[in-house]
Amino acid sequence: MYKKLSTVIVVTVIAMGLTSCKKENTTEESSNTTILLSSGQQASAVISQYTLPDNLDSDVYEPYFRPYSHNGIVYFPNDNINSLLAFNAVPDSNLPEPIFIVSQINDVRITGSVAANNSQFFVENAGISVFNNPITSGGQLTSAFKLGGGDFSECSNQLRFSDDISVSENHLVVANTNRVLIWNLPIIANNQPADIVLGQNSFTSCVANDDNQDGVADAKPTARTLDNTEAVWTDGKRLIIQDNNNNRVLIWNSFPNQNFQPADVVLGQASFTTNTENDTNQDGQPDQNIDNRVLSFGYSQFNANSEQICVPDNNNDRVLIWNNFPKNNFTPADVVLEASNPSSCAFVDDSLIVGDYGNERFLIFKDQK
């Protein structure tokens, strides 16, 4: 399923214009300021198609991966043409034209998220390509290092594949099915081994919800187990993991420093040992009448900034937003936005961008301040 890659990664970029970048000190976050939103707010722009060369399909198609902003460039991973589209700002109308397109990395498609700090730039492409400079314009580029994408065991300190990435100045965090892998940065070698694993006590364990680490899934999750991690976020001080099959979001109030470290707060559930979807009264059965505390996940990717958390509650056709990082389990969301099977959300500059999967488009919600 995954191609074995050489140690030199060639990136082909299709130039669409000149890059205009502003200098700013950015870390992992696409947005570090609070964005004022209200329940029921309508999108200010809808992106269903791009303006692309004639040989490329211009439809958004599956807006699964989050847009991302770094040093004045807004990157839109495009799962339709397996490329990375770059813009000078968050688009404010349909048919935006990219300033350039990253079309492939060593003949391997771009398959996921983008993340960066002030030293390195990371792109998911059946593994993770690591650049020592951001991708800012057209031309031939090479990545400095590659993590994963090879024939490694799914249960080791090496990365075989990734589901999502997040970066702070000192750490790379990678969602990896029933665990989350953490690297100390910088990356200085191909297939550099991870330093910490969450969801498991060791790198050689990878069973879902296996608190006693006997290799068999337990009946209930705990504060330190995971089952299908779809998304991660960190600012270097805190960590959040979307634990899909447990229908919850886990928050670490301080960045983990050891394997199997338990989370501090859970959203979507009243306790760490429950995992039923839409379980308002927490009786272990899904409820018909739901509130702003419960979750029901398919495949989606949450996001956060320095103050807020957005979660695509995709089976409930809504995006939930917490305006402050919750301190208590089962805290209700402050804002609810409607979307059809939303697949992603991202705080980008002064906007919240939602992947409206059911309608094959991005919705742009602007700051109301």
As a whole-number percent, the residues of the chain with pLDDT over 70 amount to: 90
Q: Please identify which residue in the block is written with the tokens 């050891």.
A: 258
CB 62 within 8 A of CB 79: yes
pLDDT at 179 over 90: yes
CA separation for the pair 100, 88 (Å, rounded): 10
- The answer to whether position 321 is within a domain reads no
Q: Pick from 269, 302, 273, 298: which is nearest to 286 by CA? A: 269
CA separation for the pair 79, 67 (Å, rounded): 12
Over range 342-357, report the average pLDDT.
97
Higher pLDDT, 323 or 136: 323
For the chain, the residue count is: 369
CB 201 within 8 A of CB 225: no
Residue type at position 246: N
- The answer to whether position 248 is within a domain reads yes
CA separation for the pair 311, 325 (Å, rounded): 12
Over range 160-187, report the average pLDDT.
96
CA separation for the pair 326, 253 (Å, rounded): 10
- The answer to whether position 338 is within a domain reads no
Let me know the angle formed at the C-alpha of 359 by 356 and 363, rounded to the nearest 5 degrees: 40
Number of structural domains (the chain) is 1
CB 206 within 8 A of CB 181: no
CA separation for the pair 247, 320 (Å, rounded): 14
Sheet bearing 128-131, strands edge to edge: 114-116, 121-124, 128-131, 145-147
Tens-place pLDDT, residues 106-155? 667 777 899 999 999 999 987 899 999 999 876 556 789 999 877 788 89
Would you state the pLDDT for residue 153?
Answer: 84
Let me know the angle formed at the C-alpha of 114 by 355 and 92, rounded to the nearest 5 degrees: 45
Mean predicted lDDT score pLDDT of the chain: 90
Q: Please identify which residue in the block is written with the tokens 């910088």.
A: 186
The CATH number for 262's domain is 2.130.10
Tens-place pLDDT, residues 257-270? 999 999 999 999 99
Over range 225-240, report the average pLDDT.
97
- The answer to whether position 353 is within a domain reads no
Q: What is the pTM of this model?
A: 0.92
pLDDT at 198 over 50: yes
Would you state the pLDDT for residue 81?
Answer: 87
- The answer to whether position 310 is within a domain reads no
Q: Could you tell me the end-to-end alpha-carbon distance of the chain, in angstroms, rounded to an integer?
A: 47
**Confidence class of residue 5 from pLDDT cuts 50, 70 and 90?**
very low
Over range 343-367, report the average pLDDT.
97
- The answer to whether position 244 is within a domain reads yes
As a whole-number percent, the residues of the chain with pLDDT over 90 amount to: 79
Higher pLDDT, 82 or 356: 356
Sign of CA dihedral 11, 116, 366, 342: positive
Calculate the dihedral angle through the C-alpha atoms of 254, 257, 260, 262, rounding to the nearest 10 degrees. Answer: -20
pLDDT at 12 over 60: no
CB 299 within 8 A of CB 325: no
**Confidence class of residue 218 from pLDDT cuts 50, 70 and 90?**
very high
- The answer to whether position 95 is within a domain reads yes
CB 341 within 8 A of CB 361: no
Beta-bridge mates of residue 59: 49
Whole domain around residue 126: which residue ranges? 46-293
- The answer to whether position 16 is within a domain reads no
Tens-place pLDDT, residues 272-304? 999 999 999 999 999 999 999 999 998 899 999
pLDDT at 84 over 70: yes
Would you state the pLDDT for residue 26?
Answer: 38
Would you state the pLDDT for residue 27?
Answer: 53
> What letters, b where the CB count within 10 A reaches 16 and e where it falls short, cover 142-181?
ebbbbbbbbebeebbbbbbbbbbbbbbeebbbbbbbbbbb
Higher pLDDT, 19 or 239: 239
Tens-place pLDDT, residues 23-44? 333 355 577 789 999 999 999 9
Q: What is the SS3 assignment for 114?
A: strand
